[in-house]
């Protein structure tokens, strides 16, 4: 387990292999130190996905493999989130018309959100020596959306960089009448699942909280965070 003492001596931040601001915000929320390195791989979706969990995990693994050599002796985390209606994946819309079409498809129906996770450890030569993989599935039901609502939502610009053309953490929160499963999975990173994966590697998320609290205490006493000394 990563102890408080080891964190204070200089725990190397986890490499988040993603450009997603939502995933970055979620890691900040749970206090896990990280740095960002997007993979830049082709994420073109097929017209049909029969095994979404396997597909999402494989995509996350591809992301890790794309940058692993750049980060020797580090932990790397990648995720891939799919929004599906049946076997049809709904990617990020390229146009407003495509966004409107996706939202019409989701209107009044239940869809599935699947995130594949890959947590990998590299050796000193950047070769992957350990790899944990997992997936999370959540069911989301939308109420019926009017054309006016769809147009107004698209006008905000919010749907354009998100799979399925919506962000549950944003204005689209008013569209969902039911979420069965992990909410954070729909945002893009299932936090409980991730915490369990980290624990399996010996990294206890709560240790980072203790480190943070200790620094706040030291700041109150001396005016300078211990990490800045």
Question: What pLDDT score was predicted for residue 210?
Answer: 82
Predicted TM-score (pTM) of this structure: 0.86
Question: What pLDDT score was predicted for residue 214?
Answer: 44
Question: What pLDDT score was predicted for residue 95?
Answer: 96
- Give the active site residue among 42, 51, 73, 80: 80
Question: What pLDDT score was predicted for residue 216?
Answer: 37
Q: Going by C-beta distance under 8 Å and a sequence separation of 6 or more, which residues neighbour residue 79? A: 18, 20, 23, 60, 115, 116, 117, 118, 188, 189
The separation between the first and the last C-alpha atoms of the chain, rounded to the nearest angstrom, is 26
Question: What pLDDT score was predicted for residue 1?
Answer: 55
Q: Show the tokens assigned to 59.
A: 């995509």
Domains of the chain: 4-89+112-138+179-228 (3.90.950.10)
pLDDT along the chain (229 residues), means of 10: 52 92 96 95 92 97 96 97 97 96 98 98 96 98 98 96 94 98 97 97 92 43 29
For the question of residue 80 being annotated catalytic, the response is yes
Q: For 171-182, how does the pLDDT look when each residue is reduced to its tens digit (9 = 90+)?
A: 999 999 999 999
């Amino acid at each position: 387990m990563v102890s408080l003492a080891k964190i204070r001596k200089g725990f190397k931040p986890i490499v988040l292999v993603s450009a997603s601001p939502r995933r970055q915000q979620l890691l900040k929320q749970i206090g896990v130190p990280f740095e960002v390195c997007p993979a830049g791989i082709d994420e073109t979706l097929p017209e049909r996905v029969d095994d979404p969990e396997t597909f999402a995990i494989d995509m996350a693994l591809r992301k890790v493999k794309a940058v692993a050599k750049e980060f020797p002796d580090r932990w790397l985390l990648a995720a891939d989130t799919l929004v599906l209606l049946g076997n049809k994946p709904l990617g990020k819309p390229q146009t407003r018309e495509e966004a409107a079409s996706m939202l019409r498809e989701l209107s009044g129906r239940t869809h599935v959100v699947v995130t594949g996770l890959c947590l990998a450890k590299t050796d000193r030569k950047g070769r992957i020596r350990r790899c944990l993989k997992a997936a999370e599935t959540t069911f989301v039901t939308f109420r019926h959306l009017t054309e006016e609502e769809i147009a107004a939502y698209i006008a905000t610009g919010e749907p354009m960089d998100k799979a399925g053309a919506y962000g549950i953490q944003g204005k689209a929160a008013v569209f969902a009448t039911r979420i069965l499963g992990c909410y954070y999975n729909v945002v893009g990173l299932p936090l409980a699942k991730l915490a369990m994966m980290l624990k399996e590697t010996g990294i206890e998320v709560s240790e980072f909280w203790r480190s943070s609290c200790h620094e706040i205490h030291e700041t109150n006493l001396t005016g300078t965070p211990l990490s800045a000394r």
